Amino acid sequence: MRLGAVMRVITIPLVIGLAASSARSDVEMTITVRLSSFAFDPAYVRVKAGVPIRLRLANESDGGHNFSAPTFFAASSLPPGSSGPSDGKVEVGPHQTVEVAMVPRSPGKYPLTCTHFLHGLFGMEGTVEVTP
């Protein structure tokens, strides 16, 4: 009996915490993409049009990479006062993490690649899908 009472006390805050967490995800979602030699993980990213996201790019390798998706960045907007990649690519140095806040606007599938020499050829490619 006593264990059941303890479980109820523990479960209630957990459920409240999950509800608050899911409500927050409608406001902003963080998507982490790991860059390594020579892959994006995940290589297929799906986001919803009009929902603010924080794109976290984490380079786990000893060499530099970039997240090049010019058409995706062009079809998105940035929060007031922030700057995004002017040429549609984000450079990420070795063992660095870069974050970009944005709002995807136009549904579609956008190509993603690393434009460093031969990286795309070695398989460092992917897709960003924006759903309606």
Mean per-residue pLDDT, 74-85: 87
pLDDT at site 64: 97
Q: How far is CA 29 from CA 3, 14, 41, 57, 102, in A?
A: 37, 20, 17, 14, 10
Q: Could you tell me which residues are beta bridge partners of residue 53?
A: 29, 102
Of 20-24, 30-34, 53-57, 71-75, the range with the lowest mean pLDDT is 20-24
pLDDT at site 3: 47
Residues in CB range of 17: below 8 A, 6 or more apart? none
Class of domain 27-131: mainly beta
Q: How many CB atoms lie within 10 A of CB 65?
A: 26
pLDDT at site 97: 98
Residues in CB range of 89: below 8 A, 6 or more apart? 66, 67, 68, 69, 70, 115
Query: pLDDT tens-digit profile of 89-114?
Result: 999 999 999 999 999 999 999 999 99
Mean per-residue pLDDT, 42-63: 97
DSSP state of 43: S
Is residue 76 over pLDDT 60? yes
Among candidates 49, 39, 26, 30, which has minimal Cα distance to 109? 49
CA 125 from centre of chain? 15
